[in-house]
Chain A
């Protein structure tokens, strides 16, 4: 399968714990995006990388959130001191510069904070 993959698919954690999600983009894609989707809403942009550089961040990305893409391939999204309001689906997408305009999405990681 050569699509975008995300791990884990589901995560249940207790309030105050740290969690980390991983995204592997389509192999030739140099752009990688993170979105968050809460129940009944469309996805909301969090951040994006071109290669290893983080080029855009949303105000939604509070100090408790950090994203990395150290070698320009996979990316991690970490949430520290989770809160119940962090419960959502975290979606990763990828695309490549000069390619089609669409972003290709992964299956998402569903986070539940108890």
Chain B
């Protein structure tokens, strides 16, 4: 079974508008972390935001926020005030056993975001 599901292969947004990229996850481990990475056409994975399973508040980093709904097992990324430079692939990832467990990140298949001028 897929551990990370990103159902939107591609998304389009107008410059300066907000966009939500969906991510659902599957784990039975109570201790896990959720990550979002951006991958521009150059190929490098750029870390955006992190949410721990025990964190009480949704994570925010500048224009990025994570809409964490634990009961629904969803961790959607919200990008506010989109910029042309936000056009890229976006990957959701999970690490299980965040407190002393596996170190590996499990990634979804990604969503290609295109920001239109």
Contact = CB atoms under 8 A, between A and B. Distances in A.
A85 B40 CA distance: 24
A45 B47 contact: no
A101 B50 contact: yes
Nearest to B103: A48
A89 B37 CA distance: 16
A107 B42 CA distance: 8
Contacts of A105: 37, 44-47
Nearest to A49: B103
Nearest to A95: B103
Residue of B45, B106, B108 contacting most chain A CB atoms (<10 Å): B45
Contacts of B107: 42-44
Interface string B84-110: 000000010101001000111111111
A101 B98 CA distance: 8
B52 A101 contact: yes
Interface in B56-72: none
A104 B37 CA distance: 10
B110 A56 contact: no
Contacts of B108: 42
Given A40-B109, A107-B42, A102 B50 contact: yes
Given A45-B105, A55-B103, A110 B43 contact: yes
Given A40-B109, A41-B109, A104 B43 contact: no
B103 A33 contact: yes
B25 interface: no
Interface in B21-50: 33, 35, 37, 42-47, 50
Interface of A: 31, 33, 35, 40-45, 48, 55-56, 58, 89, 91, 93, 100-108, 110
